[in-house]
Amino acid sequence: MSLISLKSDRDLEALRAAADLVSRTLAEVATHVRPGVTTMDLDRVAETFVRDHGAEPAFKGYKVGRAVFPATLCTSINDVVVHGIPDDAPIEEGQILTADCGVVLDGFYGDSAYTFAVGEISDELAGLCAATYDSLLAGISFAVAGGRVGDISSAVQQHCERLGYGVVRDLVGHGIGRSLHEAPQVPNFGRRGVGRKLKHGMTMCIEPMITLGAPDVSTDDDMWTIRTVDGRAAAHYEHMIAVLKGGPEVLTTFEHIEKVVPAPYRQPAEQNG
């Protein structure tokens, strides 16, 4: 079982700074999200912003086996759940686009993801975004010292499945600190009262990945792009949080983004189907 790194007060200050930068990077990306823009355009915006603020992109050059990720952002459109590679195809009115960004600032990592509406989207897609965002908040509310990882996982799963959405099981949230992916893994499904114990000083990324249809996913030949098997859309929101004695602290924020673009989840999640 992998050791969990408990963060000192000084570590938490550094993580707050990294989280703030990744939040502001996504807000800068938000100023460019519109029909006709390419995901490669958005990637260049993000990389420039990160480097101009004294940090490095965390994803660019990241290796899993022989696969090396080539970009600053993961850009995932409609049926792509995560790890979409930026390209020169224009994004289109009515699509949803998840931008997932990571930074390294003074040796600490920041990581956050946000699903954007490209122009006007359908009520069905807005409902998916609402359910995914609300499940993130539900999960965060259980990130309490003395609890268990399964408490977070169960909260996400129960919220989405009762509304008829699919909860991806092949992908998980994770600890974060001086490494992008640390222990513990944080699944989006599970049972309360099981899993690793939550302790003061733990820092992690909670990131529901939720689908309109079945939860099954497949990986493209590029070894990165993960999409739904049934071709239906997926949404993904991710926050960095710290488990503290007084309750969870959300280190990242979507407030900067929502000063720029309307939040696609600002409507009640409705029953799917």
Rg (CA), the chain: 17
Asked, for residue 140, whether it belongs to a domain, the answer is: yes
pLDDT at 1 over 90: no
Q: Alpha-carbon distance 39 to 30, whole Å?
A: 12
Asked, for residue 270, whether it belongs to a domain, the answer is: no
Q: What percentage of the chain has pLDDT greater than the value 70?
A: 98
Which residues constitute the domain of residue 241? 9-258
pLDDT at 270 over 80: no
What pLDDT does 2 receive? 83
Asked, for residue 264, whether it belongs to a domain, the answer is: no
Let me know: does 202 contact 234? Beta carbons within 8 Å: no
- Surface-to-core class of residue 28, CB atoms within 10 Å of its CB (0-12 exposed, 13-18 middle, 19+ buried): buried
In this structure, the strands spanning 67-68 and 209-211 are unpaired
Asked, for residue 95, whether it belongs to a domain, the answer is: yes
Asked, for residue 3, whether it belongs to a domain, the answer is: no
Q: Which of 154, 180, 229, 171 lies closest to 61 in space, CA to CA?
A: 180
pLDDT digits (tens, 9 = 90+) for 115-140: 999 999 999 999 999 999 999 999 99
Average pLDDT over residues 46-66: 97
Asked, for residue 178, whether it belongs to a domain, the answer is: yes
pLDDT at 24 over 90: yes
What pLDDT does 253 receive? 98
pLDDT at 273 over 80: no
Average pLDDT over residues 59-65: 96
pLDDT digits (tens, 9 = 90+) for 154-206: 999 999 999 999 999 999 999 999 999 999 999 999 999 999 999 999 999 99
Please report, for the domain that includes residue 147, its CATH number. Answer: 3.90.230.10
Q: Alpha-carbon distance 159 to 254, whole Å?
A: 21
Q: How many domains does one find in the chain? A: 1
What pLDDT does 221 receive? 97
Asked, for residue 266, whether it belongs to a domain, the answer is: no
